[in-house]
Structure 1
């Protein structure tokens, strides 16, 4: 029997399979039945290792369903394995890492207790929205970056005088890392978001992007508002093509079509969330964080 088992939840089947091959783990699949009231009934198929289990489950929409499934898988793994590593490629609730407005609940603090209570001894996330969120965990926690994997994809393309662009100042370090991986320049736009309405405005007045291929870099795309605004602004500045690179492509409310209509040539994302744009595999990066 393998000394290591990889238990993959329904939300991360493909990534779980790839990871099990990379770390030579025994693959344990989940069979999930959703009852009419929304409850999940999970049945595992495979042998769980007594030594160590790796549970792979992203917490994307339906967020609460995938979260409960992740916790259930960890709890089941802990019944047999002495060590359980929770791999949460996309960590839902990571934006709720502090109290922005009075009375807001810091949900990441709740999640930290839940993961520990379920039996996880270590947690690995990919490009978590805020590292502050991991500070709430009392178990070992690690964040890994998909930027090298995404940059490797774009290095293979024939781009004209490429430039990395962050849609806001908050993503400046990510853009800098991406640019360093590709050996090119980067810029960060200035935007303003209304905390109550969520509306985004680009505050940058000018950008020297004429005739250049641009790669708009972000950690996650939810509704795509920031990307659409940035693309429209960059197109007015006479850039050439605009590509979008992100780790987590949630693409809610027809976001993909809205982004394409704004003038984006292609959206490229990691396989932390399965979908049409998820063409960059991060299983190797995750594997390095486990062993």
Structure 2
């Protein structure tokens, strides 16, 4: 195997350091982080710097395009880094490797522009363009988590693309945190907040051996607000949720309005406890509406991963559970660098079934 190197952009520095520590422990010493930076000129323009040799190394570049805490100064003003800025810095660092790396893998947990994954009119296909651009720059593999629509990989059919599910870690978190769950169709149900999340919900429900329900979003297609057609109502399809613990599963919580509306409807229908699973917790409208909904008993817990930036105040909320993913990412890097199969890592169904059966045996 080639010598391992990890480049963590500023947006993913904390995760990069922790992953490096884990790999150092597993490999009995040594560190793999390669220092890098993207300094800016007074005009706001930037350049990428890699401060150690990457020649013939197996390079893994970590980037969090959703991290709004990174800033830069331009014309005397402080600007927050947008996803566009983070993606530009990623390309700068790839270019700074000068084609000398043996292999480049980009680990981008939240896939940049993944919400703009299909064309419904005279629109740009931003996610597909991003993937093609990385491919043209010499990136061999792209690792992402819970892509909004994994079919975007069809735009780069000759490059590696792994869409990894954190379902195992969510299952572990739920079963560890709550010891009184009754896992059967009479007491538990998985809920899809919209038709797009159905596949995730079907997978989780099949592992737990319970039923599913689904909400359908009715939208006003005559209006666009914040780039989207606003939701008029959520209509529910499925059997009764009365007296059951329900788990709402989606890829992300953006503003959070849809999740809270779904949780309220489930409570109005008699659900016992409402848990929310979302791979990415962005909370773009702040936390006040979740604080209010929690105080009113609308939901019981929100589980999201630490794959993207987490606001410090979020980690202090009593209703929030952070699902740690650093060991999982380290395992992915370790496995790929050794040239071993990823199948067991990205297809965790058997391990999840064992976990659920073990939990049932303790009930």
- TM-score normalised according to structure 1 size: 0.87
Written as runs of structure 1 = structure 2, the 5 A alignment for 1:17-36 is: 17-20=17-20, 21-22=22-23, 26-33=32-39
**Structure 2 unaligned blocks of 5 or more:** 69-81, 182-186, 337-363
For 2:74, the equivalent position in structure 1 comes to none
Q: 1:241 to 1:214 in 2, by over 3 A?
A: same
Q: What is the match of residue 101 of structure 2? A: 81
Contact 2:49/2:93 (CA < 8 Å) preserved in 1?
Answer: no
Whole-Å separation in 2 of the counterparts to 1:46 and 1:189: 51
- Worse-superposed segment, 69-78 or 53-62: 69-78
Aligned residues: 288
Alignment of 1:130-145 (within 5 A): 130-137=149-156, 138-145=158-165
Query: Which residue of 2 is the match for residue 158 of structure 1?
Result: 179
Alignment equivalent of 1:52, drawn from 38, 53, 58: 58
* Inter-partner Cα distance in structure 2 for 1:176 and 1:281: 23
> In the TM superposition, what is the alpha-carbon distance from 1:183 to its structure 2 partner?
4.4
Residue 258 of structure 1 is matched in structure 2 by 289
Contact 1:26 1:47 in 2 (8 A): no
Please name the residue that 1:126 is paired with.
145
User: Corresponding residue for 1:7?
Assistant: 7
Q: CA deviation at 1:44?
A: 4.0
Deviations 1:175-234 (A, max 9, x none): 122233444433222222335433222112775222322221100111112202201111
Aligned-partner SS, 1:105: coil
Of the structure 1 ranges 110-119 and 190-199, higher mean CA displacement relative to structure 2 is found in 190-199
Question: Which of 105, 115, 136 lines up with 1:117 in the alignment?
Answer: 136
Q: Secondary structure at the match of 1:220?
A: strand
Structure whose CA Rg is larger: 2
The answer to whether the 8 Å contact 2:65/2:112 transfers is: yes
Structure 1 residues 181 and 152 mapped into 2: Cα distance closer, same or farther (>3 Å)?
farther
Distance in structure 2 (CA, Å) of the matches to 1:65 and 1:181: 39
1:199 aligns with 2:201: no
Higher mean alpha-carbon deviation, 277-286 vs 136-145, is at 277-286
1:41-92 deviation line (CA, Å, top 9, x unaligned): 5544555362310011122252101111122222223543121011111112
Q: Which residue of 2 aligns with 1:268?
A: 303
1:94 pairs with 2:121: no
Q: Say which is worse superposed, 27-36 or 121-130, in terms of deviation.
A: 27-36
Deviation of 1:120 after TM superposition, in Å, equals: 0.8
Partner of 1:155, secondary structure, is: helix
RMSD: 2.6
Name the CA shift for 1:186/1:46 in 2 (closer, same or farther; >3 Å).
Answer: farther
* Separation of aligned partners in 2, 1:279 and 1:26: 26
Q: Residues 29 and 281 (structure 1 numbering): CA distance in 2 closer, same or farther, change over 3 Å?
A: farther
Q: Which runs of 5+ in 1 are unaligned?
A: none
